[in-house]
Amino acid sequence: MSVNSIYIPTEVEYSDNNKFLYSMEINCQSKLYKDKSINGTPQSTNNWQSSNGDLLIDETIRIVCLYK
């Protein structure tokens, strides 16, 4: 599955300078992900990653995989 998302840190006031655009692939079977691009910059890693306890990534994977 592929997903595009926007992350805006809560501790700063909103502006275009502090939002992060992610394009990521999610493997629902193994609950792993990899970033394809961040703010339009392609990411060179092709390695699947675990969330390492990151609650935002865990929840993103969970919700995206509900729609599979």
- For the stretch 11-37, pLDDT in tens is 766 565 678 899 999 999 999 999 999
Q: Residue 12 has what DSSP assignment?
A: S
Distance (Å, whole) CA 15 – CA 8: 9
pLDDT on residue 13? 61
Domain-wise residue ranges, the chain:
2-66
Query: Which SS3 state, helix, strand or coil, does residue 33 take?
Result: strand
pTM above 0.85, yes or no: no
Please state, in angstroms and rounded to a whole number, the distance separating the CA atoms of residues 54 and 28. 16
Q: Which residues contact 33 (CB under 8 A, 6 or more apart)?
A: 24, 25, 26, 27, 48, 49, 51, 57, 60, 61
Higher pLDDT, 48 or 6: 48
- Kindly report, residue by residue over 33-63, the tens digit of the pLDDT: 999 999 999 998 789 999 999 999 999 999 9
- What pLDDT is recorded for position 14? 58
